[in-house]
Amino acid sequence: MTAFRPKIINFLERDKVEALRQVVQTNRRFVITTHVNPDGDALGCELGLFHALRQLGKEVAILNHSAVPDMYAFMNREGYIQKFEPEQHTALLKQADVVILVDIGEWERLRTVGEALKELKRFTVCIDHHPPNGRAADLEIIHTQASSTGEIVFLLLQELGIKFDLPIATALYTAIMTDTGSFHFTNTTVNSHYMAGVLIELGVDYLGIYRQVYENEKLGKIRLLAELLSRLEFACDGRVAWYVVTREMLERYGLKPGDTEGLADFPRRIQGVEISVLFQELKDRLTKVSLRSTGNIPINGLAQKFGGGGHPYASGAVLEKPLDEVVEEFRRSIEEFYRKNKKLLPVG
């Protein structure tokens, strides 16, 4: 019997693939970077590209504004991902022929790395699955139909003839798994499952990765979640649920801002809830809003109303307003938004 081989859908644009091939072939020094507070998709793509470029004999460095979050520390045991320090790393950026930006649609989210790049004007490549919002890169490979940037990098490395060794396979599996919520978010695609299967066949420790990401929470985060659930608020006939994280709460539980990853999704587990929202106080006049939908109501339009954006069912915004003001603004707008979109909800 012939072994079944999954058919992976290649949605890449041929001219973009050839342009990237030319960039890789004609340049030697690369820097890879991503957004502030990187998630598993961002880090996995960085490492996948890092190992692939090294396989081709290139000089590569990964420089991020933020340190690797604790939950993803297992990905950086070799220390390949460095926290950008201007005095120490600006020389690396100056020497780079190409800077690759992954998993980022807004240049502002590059923070210190982005500021340095504006001054240096390096050739940039952006690989992403978010709708673009802001300054364009010299070469953009953006596919919003992908579940994750990891899916796009998977296809690109195939096109470049890269051998998928275990470090590359592990990095890409982590990227795809985390951005699909272990394959249960609405952005999960046929490609997500097919690619995961290929990577597991290459020897990826999928159970180990799952446990590191989802079964390795800090005690403080669990205690924070318990408090948040006790303060959970509802609107729109129980279809919308939200809670609020203050800086004081993070300090009390010994947590950092990045430790709230995943909390925005939790209220969607409640029967009847279609939209969940996490409000997080970052500074006195800086508030982050994370919006999640179960898949019946697109919420990126609501995020845009708050000055943000994102995917139809996973969006967000950062507002230069106090936390209380943002929450009150949300209270006023969600009822109107719900009424306009109520027809999209299933009956019963």
All domains of the chain, ordered by start, with CATH? 14-214 (3.90.1640.10), 219-344 (3.10.310.30)
Instruction: Indicate the pTM of the whole model.
Output: 0.91
| Amino acid, single-letter form, for residue 77 | R
| Amino acid, single-letter form, for residue 79 | G
Q: What's the rounded mean pLDDT across residues 125-138?
A: 88
Contacts of 175 (CB under 8 A, 6+ apart): 40, 41, 42, 43, 44, 45, 48, 148, 149, 150, 153
Q: What's the rounded mean pLDDT across residues 84-99?
A: 96
Pairwise pLDDT comparison (21 vs 303), residue with the higher score: 21
What is the C-alpha to C-alpha distance for residues 218 and 259, in angstroms, rounded to an integer?
9
Position 248 scores a pLDDT of 98
Q: What's the rounded mean pLDDT across residues 5-34?
A: 95
Residue 5 pLDDT exceeds 80: no
Q: What's the rounded mean pLDDT across residues 304-327?
A: 91
Each as own residue / partner, the long-range contacts of residues 291-298 (CB below 8 Å, 24 or more positions apart, any chain) are 291/264, 291/315, 291/316, 292/264, 292/265, 292/268, 293/186, 293/268, 294/186, 294/268, 295/186, 296/344, 296/345, 296/346, 297/341, 297/344, 297/345, 298/341
Position 278 scores a pLDDT of 97
CB distance 89 to 115 below 8 Å: no
Residue 42 pLDDT exceeds 70: yes
| Amino acid, single-letter form, for residue 297 | I
Pairwise pLDDT comparison (258 vs 277), residue with the higher score: 277
Position 33 scores a pLDDT of 98
When pLDDT is cut at 50, 70 and 90, the band that residue 2 belongs to is low
Residue 18 pLDDT exceeds 90: yes
When pLDDT is cut at 50, 70 and 90, the band that residue 335 belongs to is confident
- Mean per-residue pLDDT of the chain: 93
What is the C-alpha to C-alpha distance for residues 147 and 180, in angstroms, rounded to an integer?
7
When pLDDT is cut at 50, 70 and 90, the band that residue 64 belongs to is very high
As a whole-number percent, the residues of the chain with pLDDT over 90 amount to: 82
